[in-house]
């Protein structure tokens, strides 16, 4: 069973690497924030799940032969890593969702968020340093529980807000993107919640858990791979000629001092997208898109979209 579980684990994370790489390549070709959110969150989620699998595998095969103090040290190091990863995941997730909710995550809000999670992680570190030899450390376990609770409360609240907020957008494309993203993230966070429940209780044996978790990870990583393919087919049913290769593109961007957002709009124009479609894909207002295009024309010296597309195509 152990060899079978290890094979499933390798396969699950292999699919995860393929899904992440696919999302990165798609984002470079189609610079839509939706695609960027996919690969950032999936990198972080797979890192967190990987350490969870590693911890449980060592608990099943290695830690039973270690001393009690060694097990306690290893467990606390694992909890510290998970807490830090959770904080980073939530930070990027909230940073991604706030613009879609038509809200601004202020500098003060970011500082409060960092202080909140930083204080909880600091409690873990202090308890680990001064109480590493103490069997019971209530404050330590309390901080760990609070971090897990905060993770699920924040993630679910943002997902539900995003699902409801989609109705305020006029564009069918925007509503579809927000609906898919909210449902997809609800699925991911629910699976993570179930994993935590299985890990923290004795509902199933550790051997079954180690076998079950790779199957769940495989499904989590397979969904975006299939979803992104259909998403691109719907958003870009007809392809025009490709833009220049990265080497030539970088030269042009440097030559004309093109900003990242301007680069995104140039790529979409080269793919034949109208102003309205660019507004929908990048969640920008009509005035903002026109302002960006005006700046691009002024920097490159072109007079229309055809000249701009010819400049950046092979």
Are residues 121 and 254 located together in one domain of the fold? no
In degrees and rounded to multiples of 5, residue 124 shows phi and psi of -60, -45
What whole-number distance in Å separates Cα of residue 74 and Cα of residue 57? 13
Q: Identify whether 184 is part of a domain.
A: yes
pLDDT in tens, 153-191: 999 999 999 899 888 887 787 788 788 888 888 887 887
Q: Which pLDDT value is given to residue 86?
A: 84
Are residues 151 and 188 located together in one domain of the fold? yes
Give 275's contacts (C-beta < 8 A, 6+ positions apart). 286, 289, 290, 293
Question: Could you say which of 176, 201, 235 is where a domain stops?
Answer: 235
Report the DSSP beta bridge partners of residue 197: none
Count of domains for the chain: 2
Q: Identify whether 241 is part of a domain.
A: no
| Number of residues that this document lists for the chain | 314
Question: Could you say which of 205, 235, 265 is where a domain stops?
Answer: 235
Are residues 189 and 286 located together in one domain of the fold? no
Q: Which pLDDT value is given to residue 127?
A: 79
Are residues 300 and 203 located together in one domain of the fold? no
The helices-and-strands tally (H runs, E runs) of the chain is: 12, 0
Query: What is the distance, to the nearest Å, from the Cα of residue 257 to the centroid of all Cα atoms in its chain?
Result: 29
User: Which residues span the domain enclosing 294?
Assistant: 246-312
- Residues of the chain whose pLDDT is less than 70? 1-3, 5, 33-34, 56-57, 59-64, 66, 130-137, 199-200, 202, 204, 206-207, 234-247, 313-314
Which residue in 87, 90, 88 sits closest to 155, CA to CA?
90
Are residues 15 and 127 located together in one domain of the fold? yes
* Average of per-residue pLDDT values in the chain: 79
pLDDT in tens, 219-263: 777 877 777 777 777 666 544 444 445 667 778 888 888 887 888
Are residues 203 and 289 located together in one domain of the fold? no
Neighbours of 209 (CB within 10 A): 19
Q: Which pLDDT value is given to residue 314?
A: 54
Are residues 24 and 56 located together in one domain of the fold? yes
Q: Which pLDDT value is given to residue 277?
A: 83
> pLDDT above 90 covers what percent of the chain?
9
Q: Identify whether 111 is part of a domain.
A: yes
Are residues 216 and 254 located together in one domain of the fold? no
Q: Give 258's Cβ-side CA count (13 Å radius).
A: 24
Q: Which pLDDT value is given to residue 237?
A: 57
Residue with tokens 């404050």: 139
Q: Which pLDDT value is given to residue 137?
A: 63
Residue with tokens 């087919």: 233
pTM above 0.75, yes or no: no
Neighbours of 146 (CB within 10 A): 16
């Amino acid at each position: 069973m152990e060899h079978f579980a290890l094979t499933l684990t390798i396969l699950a994370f292999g699919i995860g690497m393929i899904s992440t790489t696919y999302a990165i390549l798609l984002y470079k070709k189609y610079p839509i924030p939706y695609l960027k959110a996919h690969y950032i969150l999936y990198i972080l989620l797979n890192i967190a799940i990987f350490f969870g699998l590693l911890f449980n595998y060592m608990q099943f095969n290695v830690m039973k032969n270690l001393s009690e103090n060694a097990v306690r040290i290893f467990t606390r190091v694992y909890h510290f890593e998970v807490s830090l990863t959770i904080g980073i995941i939530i930070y990027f997730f909230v940073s991604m969702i706030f613009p879609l909710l038509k809200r601004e995550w202020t500098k003060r809000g970011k500082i409060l968020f960092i202080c909140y999670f930083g204080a909880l992680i600091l409690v873990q570190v202090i308890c680990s340093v001064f109480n590493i030899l103490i069997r019971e450390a209530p404050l330590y376990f309390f901080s760990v529980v609070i971090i897990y609770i905060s993770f699920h409360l924040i993630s679910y609240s943002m997902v539900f807000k995003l699902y409801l907020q989609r109705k305020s957008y006029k564009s069918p494309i925007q509503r579809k993107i927000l609906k898919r993203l909210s449902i997809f993230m609800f699925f991911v966070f629910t699976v993570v919640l179930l994993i935590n429940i299985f890990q923290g209780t004795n509902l199933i044996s550790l051997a079954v858990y180690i076998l079950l978790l790779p199957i769940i990870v495989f499904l989590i990583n397979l969904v975006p791979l299939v979803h992104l393919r259909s998403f691109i087919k719907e958003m870009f049913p007809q392809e025009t000629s490709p833009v220049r290769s990265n080497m030539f593109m970088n030269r042009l961007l440097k030559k004309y001092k093109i900003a990242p957002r301007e680069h995104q709009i140039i790529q979409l124009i080269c793919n034949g997208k109208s102003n309205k479609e660019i507004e929908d894909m990048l969640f920008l207002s009509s005035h903002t898109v026109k302002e960006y295009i005006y700046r691009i024309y002024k920097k490159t010296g072109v007079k229309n979209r055809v000249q701009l597309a010819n400049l950046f195509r092979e």
